[in-house]
A and B are shown apart, each in its own frame.
Chain A
C-alpha cells in the first residue's frame, strides 16, 4: 500500500474511530491506534477548553464538552495551527444552544479577544501627535486588530462579571442590538460598546476614511454644529483608546 493510501486510512480512523476504519490496519496495531485516537480528540478538546474559559464557566463543563465533542465529530481540523480550530466553536455553540443566544455571543467575544491578542502590531496615534497631522490629506484607519461584533444579548456583561470573578447577571436580550468594538492596545485585548452615532464612523475607519469625509458624514447625519462636535468627540475617544493610525492619502 502506498503512503498516501496509508495516510488516508489513518485519517479515517482518527476522524471516525469506527471498527471499519480500524480494520484497515493489522490487529496488533489496535492498541497504538487507540493511543493516536485519544491524542487526536484530547488535543482538540484541550484547545477548545483553553480558548473559551468564560464560556465554559457560563454553560458548565458537561454542556461545553458535549458541544465540543459534536464539533470534533462534525468538523476535523484543517489548519496547521490549533488556534484556528477554535474559530469554529462559537458558531457550533450558537447552533447547539439556539435558546441561549448569549452563549454563542460570549464565545464569539472570547474568540475575538484572542484574535486581537495575536493580531498584527501597529503603532497607534498618540494624543500628543494630533497636532502633527495634515488633516487635508490624512486617512484615519483603525489599528489592524480592530473588529466589530454585533450583540443582541448581554454577553459582554456576562464576560466582564466572570472576568472580575463576580456573579454574572442572568442572560437577557438587549432592548436593541448593539455593536462591540474589539481591539488590542499595547499587549492587552479590550472592547467597548459603541453608541449608535459612532458606529458608522468606526465601521468606515476600519478600512480607512479621511477626516473630511468623516466630518461630512456626521454633519449629514446630525447637522453642522452637532456633526462637527461628534467628529471631534470620535477622534478624541479613538485616540485615547489608542485605536487609530494615519495613512497618507493615496495619490
Chain B
C-alpha cells in the first residue's frame, strides 16, 4: 500500500495538532527543528505522537568538495534519535564551501571525481546517522561542460555505491528536463526505480527563459502525467507527498491534491 502525506508547515500546525488530518505521514524541513528547544521542537514532538515524520534536509551539502560539517551531522543525529523518522533525506546538490553557505541547492558537475566525493560524503552521513538516507534528484538551471555522465547515471551510481535510496521529485525531473532539453521518460527509465522510497510532487513557475522550482502553486498537469507514468512502473509501496513551501493554501486544498495523486495510481485487478 502506498502512503500519502504532506509537508508540515506553520499555517497548518494547529490543524495537525488538534484535528485528525487524514494523512499517513508528514514531512518536515530538518533544519527548522535542529534547534535546542522551545515551541518548534515541542510541536514536532506532539505531531510525532499522531503521525510518522520524514526528515527532509536542505543543508547537508552532500556535494561539497571539502566534506561534510560534523557539527551539522551531530545535530541532525540528535533530532533523528528523538523523532525516529520514517526517512532522512537530502538533495543531490551542494551549498557549502569552507566559510561559506549559499543556502541554495547548487548544481554539481556530474564527473567521476564528483561521484567519488558525493559517495564518500553520503557514506559519512549514513555512518553518522546510523541509517540509510534518501537522496533527492534536484532541479537545476545550468549544466557543466565538465560533466562526464548524465544525472540519471550519476544517481544510479551513487545509489549502487552507497546503498542510499531515492526520493524521486517528479516536478524536479520535469523542470530540469525542460531547462536542459532531455527526455523525462528516458530519465525515469534509466533510474533504479526499485530504490525509490518517497515521491515529491510540487509546482513550479516560468522564469524569463527557465522553469523555476518554486513550490508555490498546485501540481501542474505535466507533473501529474509524469507522476502517473512513474507509478505505472513501480511495483512496491512508496510514500507520496505534496511539497508546498510558499503561497501555502488551506489544508483542504492540499488534501484535494493528494486525492488527485490517489486517483492517478494504476488500477490493479485483484487476483
Q: Would you list which residues of chain A between 1 and 30 have a CB under 8 Å from chain B?
A: 1-4, 6-8, 10-11, 14-15, 25-26, 28-29
Residues of A within 8 A of B248 (CB): none
Query: Residues of A contacting B146 with CB < 8 Å?
Result: 1, 6
Asked whether A215 is an interface residue with its Cβ less than 8 Å from the other chain, the reply is: no
| B221 beta carbon closer than 8 Å to chain A | no
Chain A residues with CB under 8 Å of B109's CB are: 3, 6
Give A81 to B102 CA distance when docked, in angstroms.
10
Within the complex, which residue of A25, A82, A119 is in contact with B142, where a contact is CB–CB below 8 Å?
A25
Give the number of chain A interface residues (Cβ < 8 Å). Answer: 42
| Proximity bits, A55-88, B CB within 8 Å = 1, else 0 | 0000000000000000000001111111001000
Chain B binding surface, main DSSP class: loop
B37, B103, B207, B210: the one within 8 Å of A40 (CB): B103
From B59, B143, B145, B212, contact of A80 by CB (8 A): B59
Check if A99 is an interface residue, CB within 8 A of chain B. Answer: no
Task: Enumerate chain B residues within 8 angstroms of A36, measured Cβ to Cβ.
Answer: 102, 104, 106, 141-142
Nearest Cβ distance between residue B80 and chain A, in whole angstroms?
16
> Is A43 close to B, CB under 8 A?
yes
Q: Which residue of A lies closest to B59 (CB)?
A: A80
Please tell me if the beta carbons of A35 and B141 are within 8 angstroms of each other in the complex. Answer: yes
Interface size class on chain B is 35 or more
Q: Which residues of B contact A187 (CB under 8 A)?
A: 38-39, 42
Contact A11 B111 (CB under 8 A): no
Taking the complex as formed, is A121 at the interface, i.e. its CB lies under 8 A from any CB of chain B? Answer: yes
A39:B37 contact, CB within 8 angstroms: no
Is A184 among interface residues, defined by CB-CB distance under 8 A? yes
Q: Which of B34, B64, B108, B212 contacts A81 (CB 8 A)?
A: B34
Contact with A along B35-69 (1 / 0, CB 8 A): 11111111000000000000000010101111001
Which residue of B has the minimal Cβ distance to A47?
A: B103
Instruction: Evaluate whether A11 and B102 lie within 8 angstroms (CB atoms) in the complex, with A3-B114, A80-B72, A80-B96 already known.
Output: yes
Q: B65 is contacted by which of A2, A40, A118 (Cβ under 8 Å)?
A: A2
Please give the residue numbers on chain A whose beta carbons come within 8 Å of chain B beta carbons, in ascending order: 1-4, 6-8, 10-11, 14-15, 25-26, 28-29, 31-33, 35-36, 39-40, 43-44, 47, 76-82, 85, 116-122, 184, 187
| Interface, chain B (partner A; CB < 8 A) | 31, 34-42, 59, 61, 63-66, 69, 72, 94, 96-97, 99-104, 106-109, 111, 113-114, 117, 140-146, 179, 207-210, 212
For the complex with contacts A33-B142, A76-B100, 4 further pairs of A-B residues with Cβ separation under 8 Å are: A7-B94, A31-B209, A77-B103, A118-B40
Q: Nearest 9 pairs between A and B by C-beta?
A: A32-B142, A32-B141, A121-B37, A4-B65, A187-B39, A118-B35, A3-B65, A29-B142, A120-B36
